[in-house]
Structures are given as C-alpha cells and as structure tokens.
Structure 1
Amino acid sequence: MSDLALLQVAVLQTALVWQDAQANRQQLAQQLQQINADLIVLPEMFSTGFSMRSDVIAEPEGETLAWLKQQAALCGAALCGSVATRTERGCVNRCYFVTPQGDVSYYDKKHLFRMAGEHQAYIAGEPRVVVQYRGWRVLLQVCYDLRFPVFSRNRNDYDVALYVANWPAARAHAWRTLLQARAIENQAFVLGCNRVGQDGNGVDYRGDSLIVDYLGLLQAELAPNEAAVLTASLDLSALTQYRQQFPAYLDADEFSLSGYV
C-alpha cells in the first residue's frame, strides 16, 4: 500500500493437521495465495498444532523458517506465527515475524501453559519483543501471555499487539474479553489469531479470532468454527490522534520487572 500510515492486516483462522508439518505447510501455502495484505497472522504452532511432544515435533531453525521466508516473499507480506523450535538451550515455542525481504525477528513464549504441561516440554523465553515494520511497532505475544497484562503493558513502545494462539473453545469468553481489554488499556490495535477444529488430544477450538481497535471495538470477527480469513485496515494516524486527545498513558504507574526492563 502506498500510504504507510495504513496497514492492511489479515488473520488466518484455520484448522491444523496434528503433528504433520508438511501437511500444514502445504494447506497454508494454498490459503496464503488468496490473501492480499501487508501483514498475515497465523495461529500458534501452525505447523503441528499445540503438541507437548517437543521431542517429536520441535525442529531446528530450518524447514519451516525457510518456508516462512519463501511464503512472505511470494505474498509480498510479513508473516507471523509460532513454531515448536529446537535451540541450543532446549525447545521453545517461538513466534517468528518474517518480512517479504527475508528479515527475521522472533519472540520465545514467556508464559507456558502449565495446565497442558507446556512448562515441562518447552523452555520459557525472557524478554518481550517489539518489531519495527513499515513504520509500525509490533508487539509479539503467544496465547497464554494474554492472561498477564503487566507483561504486555504498553510503555509507549508499540502500536499493535499480535496474539497467536491455540485457545480452547471452553474458554472462548476469556479470550475475547481479554483481547478487548488489552486493546483498551494499552491504547493499541490488537490482533488475535486462533485456530479451529480439534487437535490430537481431543481439544476443541472454535476460533473467535478478532481484530480490535484502540478503543476496544471490534473491527472484524468471524463466526465460531468458521475457517476463513479476517481482514482490516489499521490507521496509524487515527491511533496517534486518539492518543494525543486522550493521553491516558501519561498517567500510567511506573514499575519495573526484573528481566523485562
């Protein structure tokens, strides 16, 4: 798009094939061909589903990362989504942000979902990550991070927060409510990308992917259980004007957390 103040975003709400990276990459490549956007968001662990078999599914920075670079170049869009990744320090739930030019940023999920044993299968990341893209500042977050508002508190350092997820249908109300709350309290756009279908453990997912503006209002949503693409145009000028007119961030409490500052 010629106007860099506008960011055309797309959230891909789709079913995933359990623990089959090749099948998921193939079906996602077909879906990506139909999308025209500046930024496309994929679900958490989009190549395998939310599996705790890190010994089986985690891969080094290889095939799926190369696929992301290829698809970003083909789409002319940045791609964001998380992958079970094997590193020197252990397996992590790594959220990649890959630009059409092949630049790679990543954030390793900090808050691991202990109720599913994620803290036993993966190692937590430490710092949060804000990516610069087309004049926008983009905060990368993964699923369970949504429940921890201090970690995502806007320190006037981001404009849009991305939450990639495999968030179960049983807790859909919490997902939707918290996405809107994060947008309101941080005066930022929020994109929540969740999957649909059922995983290999019998857990149901109904999607509820949302694009939320800085007022907490829904810009786009899909019907429950619908596999489709959610799109919207984000306006940085409108966000900046709103922050100037209603500068609540100037009255925010000062705080620091060891390891995050």
Structure 2
Amino acid sequence: MEQISKSGISNLKITIFQAYLFWENVDKNLQNLSLRLSMGIKEKTDLIVLPEMFNTGFSMNAEALAEEMDGKTMKWMADTAVKYDCAVAGSLIIKEGGNYFNRLIWMLPGGSYSPYDKRHLFSLGGEDARYTPGNEKVIVNLKGWNIRLAICYDLRFPVWLRNQNGEYDALLIIASWPDKRSAHWNALIPARAIENQSYVIAANRVGHDGNEMYHSGHSQCIDPMGKTVYYKPEDEDLYTFSISYEELIKTRESFPFLQDADKFKML
C-alpha cells in the first residue's frame, strides 16, 4: 500500500540502474538498457535513474557522438517513460546552436522534459575544452517532491548545490565517477544530504571505459540524517527503493538547521 505523509505527499519509488556502458556505442547501450530494464523492473516505479552519458560513456568525442534534441536517444527516453509510466533521468551529449552540452534530461511519460546542462565541467579530463557549461539550476517536481538536478563533478561544489530556503527535497546526481576517487564520492554524498537536509540520490556506472578508467559504482541514496537507504558497490545493479516525505519533514522539524543557514546569491 502506498504510504502518504500528513502533507498529502506520498513516498517516492526510485529505480537506479548502475549500468555497465559500452564505449561510444549508442545503439548497443540503448538495446542493453532496454533489455535489462525489461528483465529487472518487477514493480511500479516513479523514476528510473541512469548514469552520466548513459548512451556513450563519458566521452570527449563530442563532435562524433552528439545528438540533436530530436535524436534517437531522446526518443528512446520518451518511449521508456511511456513504457514504465514514470520519469526517466540521464545525461547525453547534445549539440545545440553550435555548442556541445553534457545535458541531463528529465523525461516524463507525456513527452515533456526538463533539461539541465552540467555547470561544472571536469577540466582534469578536458571536458571544459569540448563542452559548454550550463548556468541555470533546475528543480523539477514529481508527485509533490521538488528534486534538484546535478551531474557528477557538480557534487564537489556545495555552494552551487546549497538548498536555500529548503527549495528542494531531494538532490539527484548522475555520474561517471572513477574508482580511484570513490572515497571522495562516498564522503561528499552524505555531506550534501546532511548539510542540505535532503535525500541525495546518486547513480554511477560500473566497468572500464574506453580510456581504461575503472568505475566501481557505489550508487546510493542517503537520507537527510545521513543514513543509507541504498548502496551498491562494484556490480551492475538495478534496484528499486522508496524515500519518505514524512521522514524528510520530521527531520527538518526536529532539527531546523536550514533556517539558520547563511543567505547569499551567486554572482
């Protein structure tokens, strides 16, 4: 039975697919994702979360791999949202106005979507030389939940992700975060949850990419108190879990830290 909080907002069911990705092979990735989702989703879910650049892997080969906003991957996302009657989130390489973006798409079953362009481009990997950064934060709504969208390297920048005035209830981060820095990933995610008094839902990939960089997953969900709701290292995994709006409100009422936060605006 679906649980509903006193505010009338129900629990949210989320499915994270911690996927192995085939390097720069859009068709193979989309076929594999479709197969694994059809085999693995056994119950109704509200949201399917895929890793960063889920159709190609985290590639700097933007010119060859970029799609338009009416391309095959957007169509696949729209079809998948309809098939499972849920939101679908993941990023891909988009060409628009002569620029290339690492763009997170929040796709709804009706075909409407919200885009978020990655703000913090990973200069260590040359992402800043090939992609254009975004400059707008994006908060979407799902069944009464306000969800902030972010991509990978954004995780390291708490000012950008600051939950001012409790404007969001959950922070959604999709990533291609390598194993060699997994200690940072595992430290920063609980920190973002605790300081922002929100759930953090973080989806990473697994396996080696085309540069022989190994990714060990560690996809997870952390609640506003810093407790683990879901955590999976190493293996490919497709898992559905629930997050509670009642617990979120209870935490904020018991520990009203957000009201004492510094007020600021980003330039």
Amino acid corresponding to residue 170 of structure 1 in structure 2: K
Paired residue secondary structure (2:17): strand
Letter in 2 for 1:175: W
Q: Does the 8 Å CA contact 1:13/1:209 hold for their aligned counterparts?
A: yes
Task: Quote the residue 1:200 is aligned against.
Answer: 210
Asked if 2 retains the 8 angstrom alpha-carbon contact of 1:32 and 1:75, the reply is: no
Residue segments in structure 1 that go unaligned for 5+ positions in a row: none
- What is the SS of the residue equivalent to 1:141? strand
Within 5 Å, give how 1:46-195 maps onto structure 2: 46-61=54-69, 62-155=71-164, 156-195=166-205
Q: Find the counterpart in structure 1 of residue 26 from structure 2.
A: 21
Residues in 1 aligned to 2:61 and 2:90: alpha-carbon distance in whole angstroms: 19
TM norm structure 2: 0.94
What is the distance in 2 between the residues matched to 1:40 and 1:134? 14
CA shift, 1:66, in A, is 1.0
Quote how far apart the aligned CAs of 1:63 are. 1.2
Aligned identity (percent) is 40
For the residue of structure 2 that corresponds to 1:150, the secondary structure is: helix
Using the alignment, how far apart are the partners of 1:245 and 1:108 within structure 2?
35
What residue number does 1:213 align with?
Answer: 223
Shift of residue 89, structure 1, vs aligned partner:
4.5
Cα shift at 1:231: 2.6
Unaligned residue ranges in structure 2 (runs of 5+): none
Gap change, CA 1:236 and 1:116, over 3 Å in 2: same
8 Å Cα contact 2:225/2:251 also seen in 1? no
Query: Following TM superposition, by how much is the alpha carbon of 1:101 offset from its aligned partner in structure 2, in angstroms?
Result: 2.1
The alpha carbon displacement at 1:169 in A equals 0.4
**Is 1:44 paired with 2:52?**
yes
Runs of 4+ in 1 over 2 A off after TM superposition: 1-4
Task: Give the distance between the partners of 1:78 and 1:162, measured in 2 at CA.
Answer: 13
Query: CA RMSD, aligned part only?
Result: 1.1
1:30 is aligned to 2:35 = yes
- Report the equivalent of 2:10: 5
Distance (whole Å) between structure 2 residues aligned to residue 87 and residue 138 of structure 1: 25
Give aligned pairs, total.
257
- Residue 13 of structure 2 aligns to which amino acid in structure 1? Q
- TM-score (norm. length: structure 1): 0.96
DSSP-derived class of the 2:30 partner: helix
CA–CA distance in structure 2, aligned partners of residues 116 and 197 of structure 1: 18
The Cα offsets for residues 16-53 of structure 1, whole Å up to 9 and x where unpaired, read as 00001111111111122222311111000000000000
Partner amino acid, structure 1, of 2:225: L
